[in-house]
A and B are shown apart, each in its own frame.
Chain A
Amino acid sequence: MTNELEDVMASHDVPADPSRRRLLAGLLTAYTASLIPWALAQPAPHADRGAFTALSAILVGRQALDATQTARLYDALVADDAHFPADVQTLLTLINQRQIDPQQLQNVLDTEHSPLAKLPRKIVGAWYLGVVGSDEAARCIVYETALNAVVVADVLKPPTYAYGTYASWANKPI
C-alpha cells in the first residue's frame, strides 16, 4: 500500500511550475472524496487526467493507482476517442452531483439510456484487461499489471508465466 501510494505520488506529469499545482481534491465533492480518500492529496496538474484518475479509482474500487499506468491507459483511450476527456468530466460531475453509488452506476446509466453508459465498461475493461480499443485496433497497453493479474498475484501468475522449473508446465495437474 505504501509503495503504491509512493508510485502515485511520483507522478510523471508533476507541473514544472508549483504555483499551478492543483490537487485532485479540487475535482471531487465530499461524496466522491469519501469513496477515494487517498486521492485527496494527489497532484492533478491536468484537469482531464485528474478526472480520469478519480473516475478510474471510483470505478475499479482501488485505494491507489499507479501513476504511469494511469497515464498510459488515459493516453491510449484518448487516442481512440477525442471525446473521451469530456465524457470522463461529465460522468465524474454526474457522480459528484447525484452521489451515485459506484455499485449502482452501470444500472443507473443503462436504465436512463445515458450516452455515457459505455464509458464505465470501457474504463474498467482498460484497467482490468489492459486492452484498449477493439478488433484490429485493440492494443494490449498493460498485461502483467492489469488489475485482473494484480488482484490474484498472491497466488496466480499471468498466463504464459511459469510457476516452477523448466518444463514443469508439462506435469499432470494434481
Chain B
Amino acid sequence: MKRMTGRPVPLLALICVFAGLYAGTAAATDSANTELLQRGQYLATAGDCVACHTAPGGKPFAGGLPVPTPIGTIIATNITPSKTAGIGNYTEQQFSDALRRGIRADGKRLYPAMPYTAYAQISDDDVQALYAWFMHGVSPVDTAPTPTRLPFPFNIRLSMAAWNLLFLDSKPFTPDPGKSAEWNRGAYLVRGLEHCSTCHTPRNLLMAEQSSHALAGGEVGTWHAPNITSDANSGIGGWSASDLVAYMKLGHAAGRAQAAGPMAEAVDNSLQHLTATDLQAIATYLKTVPAQHDPADTRAVDTWGAASNELDSLRGVALPSDPNKMSGAQLYDAYCASCHQDSGQGSFDGGLPSLFHNTATGRTHTNNLVMVILDGIDWPADGSGVHMPGFAQTLSDQQVATLGSYLLKHYGNPAAVISADQVKSLRAGGAPSHLVLLARLALIVVLLVLVAIIAMFMRRRRREAIQAEHD
C-alpha cells in the first residue's frame, strides 16, 4: 500500500510537471501565433487587399469585384483559405510567388492589376505573417467568382512572363543605410504594401509604371491620382508631415485637400488603420520623393481662390424654365451652398471643407472635380457612410459643367475648364481604351513583317539555287 501510494505521487507530479510544461509551451506558441496573426492582419490592412478582393456587399476576400482596366475587366479572385474556391491549398512558397512574382499556384501568370510589382518589395517575414493570417485568420468562402476573360491577345497569360521580364523588379526592399530608420520604414510601406505607385505613377503604353516619373500622378479609371511628389506646386511639397498624417488618418487636411474616389477608399479601408508611427514614416518618406513639376501648376494647387459669391445675381430672380440654363451661381446656391456655405468658405468647425484653398478646385486636371460632384464621397467600410452626396442622379451634364466652371472661377484655378462632353464621358465610365485594338494592330504588323522576312529569305534561297544550277 505504501509502495502503491508511493509510486503514483511522483508519477502524478511528473504528469503535472509535463502538463505544466506543455501548457507553458502551448501558451508561448499561442501567443507567438496570435502575434503573427495580428501582424498579418495589420499588413493585409496596409496592403488594402480587401479593396479589390471583396465585392460590394460580398464576404470579405471572396473576390468577384470587376476591376475595369484599359485592357478589359479583370475579376478579382477569391483569396479566402477555401480549398475549392480560394487559396486554401497554397503553400507559403506559392503564396509568396503569387504575391511577389505574379505567378499563381498552377503556374499561370497574374495580370498586373494585382499590384505584385509593388508587393515584390515585401520582406520574407511579412510574407510569412500575411500567409499565416490568410490561412488562419480569414474565414473560407467556397464560392468562386466568374473567371476573368480578357479579349485577345491579353487572354494569353503567358504574355505576362515577357512583361515581367521587362517591368518586374522582384527583389524585396533593401533599406538605404544612409537614411533614417523612419525613412526606410516609410519607403518600405509606400513602395511595397501601400502600393501608392499603382495609382499615383503614370503608366506607359504597355501599362507599366514609368519609374522615371514615380508618383507624378496617374489615371485610375475616371479618376486622376494626383502628383504626390515633393514638388511645391504640383505635389505635396508645401504640406507639413502633420498635414499628410491628418490626410491619411482623417481623409482630409484642412485648407488643402480631402480624399475622394479611390483615395477615400484607401483611407477608409487601409490608411486610417495604420499606426501613428507608420503614418509618420510614410509622410517622412513622401516629403523626400524627387519633385515632378507640371508646368501647368503655376502656383501650389491648394492656394487658389478666395471666399466670394454671386448672391446679388440670384436673389429675387426667378429660375429659368430650362434647368440646363441655370447659372453657376443658381446651381451652387441650390446644391452646394447648404454645406459649403454661401461663399464657399465651409462650415464653422471645418467639418465641411472650404472650396478655395482646396486641391479639388486648384488643378487644371478637372476630372476629379466632375467625379466628386457626380459620385460624392462615401466611406462604406468604417461605417461613417456618406461624407458628400453625389449628384449624378440630380444634375445634367450641362449643369455639372456650368457648376464646375463656377467653382473653378470663384474658388479654384481659373485656367481650368470643364465641358459638358467631359461630364458625359466621365458619367459613362470614361473614354474607351484603344489598347486592345492597338495590340491587335501591332500583332498584325509583326505578322506582316515576319511574312515579308520569310518571303525574302525564300526568294534568296531560290535565287541561290538557280545560280548554283547555272554554275
Interface residues of A (CB under 8 A from B): 68-69, 72, 76, 130, 132, 139-145, 157, 160-168
Contact = CB atoms under 8 A, between A and B. Distances in A.
Interface in B375-390: 385-389
B338 A160 contact: yes
A163 B349 contact: yes
A130 B388 contact: no
Contact of B315 (A141, A161, A167, A168): A141
Given A72-B316, A139-B316, A141-B316, A164 B347 contact: yes
A72 B310 CA distance: 14
B351 interface: yes
Contact of A163 (B337, B347, B386): B347
B347 A72 contact: no
B229 interface: no
B341 A72 contact: no
A95 B388 CA distance: 53
Interface string B324-343: 00000000000001110110
A150 to B, nearest CB: 12
Contacts of B254: none
B352 A76 contact: no
Interface of B: 311-312, 315-316, 337-339, 341-342, 347-349, 351-352, 385-389
> Which of A76, A130, A132, A166 has most B Cβ within 10 Å?
A166
21 contacts: A69-B312, A72-B315, A130-B315, A139-B316, A140-B315, A144-B311, A157-B348, A160-B338, A161-B337, A161-B338, A161-B342, A162-B352, A163-B348, A164-B349, A164-B351, A165-B347, A165-B349, A166-B339, A166-B352, A166-B386, A166-B389
A68 B348 CA distance: 26
A6 to B, nearest CB: 16
Nearest to A146: B315
A142 B314 CA distance: 9
A142 B389 contact: no
A83 to B, nearest CB: 21
A143 B388 CA distance: 25
Contact of A165 (B315, B338, B352): B352
Given A162-B339, A165-B351, A165-B352, A76 B316 contact: yes
Contacts of B348: 157, 163-164
A1 B316 CA distance: 27
Contacts of B385: 167
Contact of B387 (A69, A140, A166): A166
Given A161-B337, A166-B339, A68 B312 contact: yes
Choose among A69, A160, A167 the residue with the greatest number of B CB atoms under 10 Å from its CB.
Answer: A167
A63 to B, nearest CB: 22
A164 B338 CA distance: 11
A132 B337 CA distance: 23
Contacts of A168: 351
A69 B311 CA distance: 10
Given A144-B342, A167-B386, A162 B315 contact: no
Nearest to A155: B348
Contacts of B342: 144, 161
A171 to B, nearest CB: 12
B316 A140 contact: yes
A142 B317 CA distance: 11
Contacts of B341: 157, 161-162
B352 A164 contact: yes
A122 to B, nearest CB: 16
Nearest to A71: B312
